[in-house]
């Protein structure tokens, strides 16, 4: 259970994981914390995208998820990082920034506004100092400074003298950043960089991306060990395969040309990545554990009329699937709630029951919703247009009313009963819960 207490973050004498797109997701943040980072930033997330997200408590993974309208998880966090994670947003609008901050404030330890893409104002030292002093007057808790000019690339030397001048011109903590290329090779270098810049704390991006054990006081660990720990978190927290692959590639660096690196390039799923690093057993353990112990609800929304073709219905697809599997036909138990006279339905397929959280005034809609839940749980395409042509298309009569209703409503649907989850399902949002409903 996620508790409600959040301690105020102190930015002095801290080793910090920098914000990094694609890299700074939950697995990397947790790993950096394990190795000794004090504060971890998430990747930059754009205000407009966040504002369209819904906050969902994911009881399967024990996380808080911010889920976009296309069901993708935009930001995932958990209790372990609650007092350490800083949410970085990309914004150019105060109202939107405030709205996003209010949306996430109870789940994170700090909020950061990315001003990192260099603007004209940051080209002159006096103007930069003036800007930082103005920022200080707004009441911010700290400023992180990446000591490079607009035209400079990450491989150019960092201007530690500029960071120092800024650190000495304000009273709030300044976090020195930009030292990965030339200065930071191991943990002790963080303190050296802090002293050189006279900053309060040090933030590390690339050196941590290449080997997150940079935060380990006792010294770096072999990358082979580190990347396995990373993969474990990626599986545990159901990271998208492309994200896992990207981070592991960054860790392998020059070893990417090895046979193993080449196999990694071709990997299409987290399972394949696990196989490459002899971790298939671990993968299976996690999946089995999630499968057997949990009744897994499904959440998804039907928010586009174009989602479903008019010619077929999910119920038809389910009947056809049962026929092909030589299973008895699906049995629907549809009940009406006396309080508001809305219907809900439970379908039984192969002795398992599936339902949705959709209560509707028509039996047809709830039965179709239930059929979708069942099909998705079984990993069967349910006839959405994006699934391509279905064999049933054109064969059945139109049922426009149902589909119109389903496509225009925002159904929130959950399923009961765990099924063997395949990876594409796990990576889609709709497997994560809104409700848990138990059946006897």
Ligand X SMILES: Cc1cc2nc3c(=O)[nH]c(=O)nc-3n(C[C@H](O)[C@H](O)[C@H](O)COP(=O)(O)O)c2cc1C
* By the rule CB under 6 A, 179 interacts with ligand X: yes
Q: In whole angstroms, what is the distance from residue 135 CA to residue 122 CA? A: 13
**Of 146 and 376, CB closest to ligand X:** 146
Q: Which of 9, 16, 17, 18 binds ligand X (CB under 6 A)?
A: 18
**Of 90 and 297, CB closest to ligand X:** 90
Q: Which of 25, 63, 77, 88 binds ligand X (CB under 6 A)?
A: 88
* By the rule CB under 6 A, 19 interacts with ligand X: yes
Q: In whole angstroms, what is the distance from residue 392 CA to residue 399 CA? A: 13
Pairing of strands 63-67, 73-77: antiparallel
Q: Which of 67, 73, 163, 204 binds ligand X (CB under 6 A)?
A: 204
* By the rule CB under 6 A, 178 interacts with ligand X: yes
Q: In whole angstroms, what is the distance from residue 320 CA to residue 392 CA? A: 8
* By the rule CB under 6 A, 181 interacts with ligand X: yes
* By the rule CB under 6 A, 146 interacts with ligand X: yes
Q: Which of 15, 16, 23, 220 binds ligand X (CB under 6 A)?
A: 23
* By the rule CB under 6 A, 318 interacts with ligand X: no
Which segment (126-134, 176-184, 301-309, 344-352) binds ligand X by CB under 6 A?
A: 176-184
Tell me which residue of 202, 241, 207, 239 sits closest to 223, measured CA to CA. Answer: 207
Which segment (76-84, 206-214, 317-325, 394-402) binds ligand X by CB under 6 A?
A: 206-214
Q: What is the 3-state secondary structure (H, E, C) of 171-197?
A: CCCEEEECCCCCCCCCHHHHHHHHHHH
Q: Which of 2, 12, 13, 21 binds ligand X (CB under 6 A)?
A: 21
Q: CA torsion angle for 245, 249, 252, 255 (degrees, to 10)? A: 110
Active site residue 241: no
* By the rule CB under 6 A, 114 interacts with ligand X: yes
* By the rule CB under 6 A, 414 interacts with ligand X: no
* By the rule CB under 6 A, 43 interacts with ligand X: yes
Q: Which three-class secondary structure state does DSSP give residue 80?
A: helix
Q: In whole angstroms, what is the distance from residue 269 CA to residue 244 CA? A: 9
Q: CA torsion angle for 127, 132, 135, 136 (degrees, to 10)? A: -140
Which segment (8-16, 200-208, 229-237, 319-327) binds ligand X by CB under 6 A?
A: 200-208
Q: In whole angstroms, what is the distance from residue 266 CA to residue 20 CA? A: 24
Smallest separation (angstroms) from ligand X to the CB of 192: 14
Catalytic residue among 10, 117, 274, 358: 117
* By the rule CB under 6 A, 44 interacts with ligand X: yes
* By the rule CB under 6 A, 157 interacts with ligand X: no
Smallest separation (angstroms) from ligand X to the CB of 183: 8
Smallest separation (angstroms) from ligand X to the CB of 126: 22
DSSP assignment of 306-344 equals GGS-TT--HHHHHHHHHHHTT-PPPEEEEEE-TTT--EE
Q: Is 184 left (phi over 0), alpha (psi -120 to 50) or beta?
A: beta
Smallest separation (angstroms) from ligand X to the CB of 9: 17
Q: Please tell me the count of residues contacting ligand X according to CB under 6 A.
A: 22
What is the DSSP-derived secondary structure letter of residue 360? B
* By the rule CB under 6 A, 189 interacts with ligand X: no
**Residue 274 in tokens:** 């696990």
- Going residue by residue from 115 to 144, which x/- string records binding to ligand X, judged by CB under 6 A? -x----------------------------
* By the rule CB under 6 A, 383 interacts with ligand X: no
Specify whether the CB–CB gap between 15 and 204 falls below 8 A.
Answer: yes
Q: Which three-class secondary structure state does DSSP give residue 349?
A: strand
**Of 166 and 374, CB closest to ligand X:** 166
What is the DSSP-derived secondary structure letter of residue 8? P
**Residue entry with tokens 């586009």:** 304
Smallest separation (angstroms) from ligand X to the CB of 284: 31
Q: Which of 132, 205, 231, 274 binds ligand X (CB under 6 A)?
A: 205
DSSP assignment of 384-438 equals -GGG---TTTTTS---HHHHHHHHHS-------S--PPPHHHHHSGGGS-S----
Which segment (175-183, 353-361, 390-398, 408-416) binds ligand X by CB under 6 A?
A: 175-183
Binding region for ligand X (CB under 6 A):
18-21, 23, 43-44, 88, 114, 116, 146, 154, 177-181, 204-207, 209
Known catalytic residues? 117
């Amino acid at each position: 259970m996620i508790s409600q207490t959040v301690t105020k973050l102190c930015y002095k004498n801290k080793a910090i994981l920098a914000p990094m797109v694609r890299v700074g997701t939950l697995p990397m943040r947790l790993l950096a914390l394990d190795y000794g980072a004090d504060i971890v930033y998430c990747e930059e997330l754009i205000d407009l995208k966040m504002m369209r997200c819904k906050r969902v408590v994911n009881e399967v993974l024990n996380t808080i998820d911010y889920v976009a309208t296309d069901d993708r998880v935009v930001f995932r966090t958990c209790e372990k990082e609650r007092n350490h994670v800083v949410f970085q947003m990309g914004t150019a609008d105060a109202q939107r920034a405030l709205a996003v901050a209010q949306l996430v404030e109870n789940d994170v330890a700090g909020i950061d506004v990315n001003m990192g893409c260099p603007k004209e104002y940051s080209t002159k030292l006096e103007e930069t100092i003036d800007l930082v002093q103005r920022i200080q007057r707004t009441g911010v808790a700290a400023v992180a400074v990446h000591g490079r000019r607009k035209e400079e690339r990450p491989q150019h030397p960092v201007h530690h003298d500029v960071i120092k001048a800024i650190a000495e011109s304000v009273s709030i903590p300044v976090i020195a950043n930009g030292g990965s290329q030339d200065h930071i090779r191991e943990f002790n270098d963080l303190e050296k960089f802090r002293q050189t810049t006279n900053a309060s704390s040090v933030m590390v991006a690339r050196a941590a991306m290449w080997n997150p054990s940079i935060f380990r006081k006792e010294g770096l660990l072999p990358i082979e060990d580190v990347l396995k720990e990373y993969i474990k978190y990626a599986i545990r927290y159901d990271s998208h395969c492309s994200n896992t692959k990207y981070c592991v590639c960054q860790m392998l660096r020059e070893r990417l040309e090895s046979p193993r690196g080449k196999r990694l390039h071709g990997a299409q799923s987290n399972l394949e990545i696990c196989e490459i690093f002899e971790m298939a057993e671990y993968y299976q353990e996690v999946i089995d554990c999630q499968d057997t112990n949990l009744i897994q609800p499904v959440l998804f929304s039907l928010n586009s009329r174009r989602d479903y073709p008019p010619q077929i219905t999910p119920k038809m697809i389910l009947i056809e699937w049962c026929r092909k599997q030589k299973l008895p036909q699906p049995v629907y138990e549809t009940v009406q709630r006396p309080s508001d006279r809305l219907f809900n339905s439970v379908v039984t397929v192969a002795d398992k029951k599936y339902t949705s959280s959709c209560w509707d005034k028509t039996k047809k809609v709830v039965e179709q919703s239930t059929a979708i839940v069942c099909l998705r749980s079984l990993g069967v395409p349910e006839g959405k247009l994006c699934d391509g042509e279905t064999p049933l298309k054109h064969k059945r009569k139109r049922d426009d009313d149902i589909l119109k209703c389903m496509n225009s409503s925002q159904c929130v649907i959950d399923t009961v009963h765990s099924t063997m989850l395949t990876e594409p399902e796990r990576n889609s949002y709709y497997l994560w819960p809104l409700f848990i409903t138990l059946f006897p």
